[in-house]
Amino acid sequence: MRFSTFLRLGWLCATMAASGIAAAELQWNLQRPNTALAQDIYDLHVLIMWIITVIFVGVFGFMFYAIVRHRKSVGHKAAHFHESTTVEIMWTVVPFLILVVMAWPATKTLLAMRDTGQPDMTIKATGFQWKWGYEYLDEGIKFYSVLATPRDQIEGSAEKGEHYLLEVDNPVVVPVGSKVRVLVTANDVLHAWYVPALAVKQDAIPGFIRDAWFRADRPGIYRGQCAELCGKEHGFMPIVVKVVTQDEYKAWVSQQKQGASAAFDPKRAYTLAELKTEGEKVYRTHCVVCHQPDGKGMPPTFPPITGGRITTGPKAGHIEIVLNGSKRNPMMVAWGPQLSDFELAAVLTYQRNALGNSKGDSVQPAEIIAARN
């Protein structure tokens, strides 16, 4: 623990003790809403807090009055009443009426929240262990979104950045003012797509598609996290939504489409160096959380790449386990559906020729295509 930590804590305690209120920068309520619905929820929460505060003060006002005035030490003699039907009926009926008052705005907001009809655009969000995959159904854009915080910040060997753990390589980009429907599903285990400022939290369930929607009021960057425990990297798969103007959005879409059209040629034979360069990127994005940056893995669950039985064995076995996953170890999922032929060829080549391995052979996209069939 660093000295600055102690200082910070000490300062905090001192401020709180001295003034009775904590620092102004602390967040005391829901995040600042960025959709009309998020605003409704914010207001609903504030309303409910007022109601319960009043009831709380009322009920415990009675209790503390009794504690002060009806104590034996001030000579108070105990009364003997222990029943009153009138009072019992009253404190059954009155709370019920208060509940009706609370249920009314809650129901209205809920009905609005669940109305996912007539969206301006639809994005499919898929939870993976441990990243999000996005697909713009109308535009045909697809990409993965992976935590961008470097490992050394997490392990404490580098200063933590402003958006520590809440930053990704590829944010979701949406236009301001459009009704965005999000289809949420998962590939492996449960996840949840949660962005507080947009008031969306929807569980991602493998095999099922659920939906939610938002219409952002202001451009800006809104950050959230996976909200359903999904394994060891649950805390490390954030969601970043970048809300831009309609023009910026159009520019972004066409740029994405161009990037996609510069795709690879399945008939070409790639050099080992080309594959290795691309493979390193794929490894850093998809493999590194389990098999570790140095390829040593975390045995027994996550076996090493370096000198591994499979990664230094025959190509066919290596292709098979990466493409289709492991039968024995459910943590090794099938990467065939997630990665392209080129990406798979690249990462396999990388694993066989880097991280301490030097098989000297390359895996060509054509071999992946053959193995897929």
Partner 1 sequence: MEAVHGHDHAHDHQPSGIMRWVTTTNHKDIGTMYLWFSFVMFLVGGVMAFTIRAELFQPGLQLVNPDFFNQMTTLHGLIMVFGAIMPAFVGFANWQIPMMIGAPDMAFPRMNNWSFWLLPPAALLLIISLLVPGGSAGAGWTLYPPLTVQQGMGMDLVIFAIHILGMSSIMGSINIITTILNLRAPGMTLMKMPMFVWTWLITAYLLIAVMPVLAGAVTMTLTDRHFGTHFFNPAGGGDPVLFEHIFWFFGHPEVYIIAIPAFGVVSQVIPAFSRKPLFGYTSMVYATASIAFLSFVVWAHHMYTVGMPVEAQLYYMFATMLIAVPTGVKVFNWVATMWQGALTFETPMLFAIGFLFLFTLGGFTGLVLSLVPVDVQLHDTYYVVAHFHYVMVAGALFAAFAGVYFWLPKWTGRMYDETLGQWHFWLSMIFFNVTFFVQHFLGLAGMPRRIPDYALQFTDFNMISSVGAWGFGLSQVLFLYVVLKAIRGGEKAPQKPWDGADTLEWTHLPTPAPYHSFETPPDVK
| Residue among 63, 262, 263, 316 that touches partner 1 (CB under 8 A) | 63
| Residue among 36, 39, 106, 120 that touches partner 1 (CB under 8 A) | 106
Kindly indicate which of the ranges 49-57, 242-250, 264-272, 351-359 contains the residues binding partner 1, using the contact rule CB under 8 A.
Answer: 49-57
Spatial strand order in the sheet of 191-195: 172-175, 238-244, 220-226, 191-195, 200-204
To the nearest 10 degrees (0 to 180), the angle between helices 315-324 and 341-353 is 130
Cα dihedral 13, 14, 20, 25 sign: negative
| Residue among 119, 127, 171, 224 that touches partner 1 (CB under 8 A) | 224
Please report whether residue 228 would count as binding partner 1 according to CB under 8 A.
Answer: yes
Planar angle of CA 248, 249, 254, nearest 5 degrees: 100
Spatial strand order in the sheet of 121-128: 141-145, 131-136, 121-128, 179-186, 210-215
Total residues contacting partner 1 by CB under 8 A comes to 104
Distance in Å, CB of 364 to partner 1, minimum = 30
**Backbone torsions φ then ψ of 289, nearest 5 degrees:** -65, -35
Please say which residue, 184 or 348, places its beta carbon nearer to partner 1.
184
Please report whether residue 83 would count as binding partner 1 according to CB under 8 A.
Answer: yes
Please say which residue, 107 or 245, places its beta carbon nearer to partner 1.
107
Please report whether residue 14 would count as binding partner 1 according to CB under 8 A.
Answer: no
Q: Which of residues 298-327 bind partner 1 (CB under 8 A)?
A: 300-301
**What is the enclosing helix (H) or strand (E) of 31?**
none
| Residue among 230, 240, 241, 319 that touches partner 1 (CB under 8 A) | 230
Buried b (16+ CB within 10 A) or exposed e, 268-293: eebebeebbebbbebbebbbbbbbbe
| Residue among 201, 284, 296, 359 that touches partner 1 (CB under 8 A) | 201
| Residue among 7, 54, 229, 251 that touches partner 1 (CB under 8 A) | 229
Taking the C-alpha atoms of residue 75 and residue 81, their distance in angstroms, rounded to an integer, is 18
**Residue from 190, 1, 229 nearest 9 by CA:** 1
Please report whether residue 294 would count as binding partner 1 according to CB under 8 A.
Answer: no
> Which residues contact residue 268 at a Cβ distance below 8 angstroms, ignoring those fewer than 6 apart?
none
| Residue among 14, 91, 277, 293 that touches partner 1 (CB under 8 A) | 91
Please report whether residue 12 would count as binding partner 1 according to CB under 8 A.
Answer: yes
Please report whether residue 211 would count as binding partner 1 according to CB under 8 A.
Answer: yes
Please report whether residue 288 would count as binding partner 1 according to CB under 8 A.
Answer: no
| Residue among 14, 23, 57, 370 that touches partner 1 (CB under 8 A) | 23
Distance in Å, CB of 353 to partner 1, minimum = 29
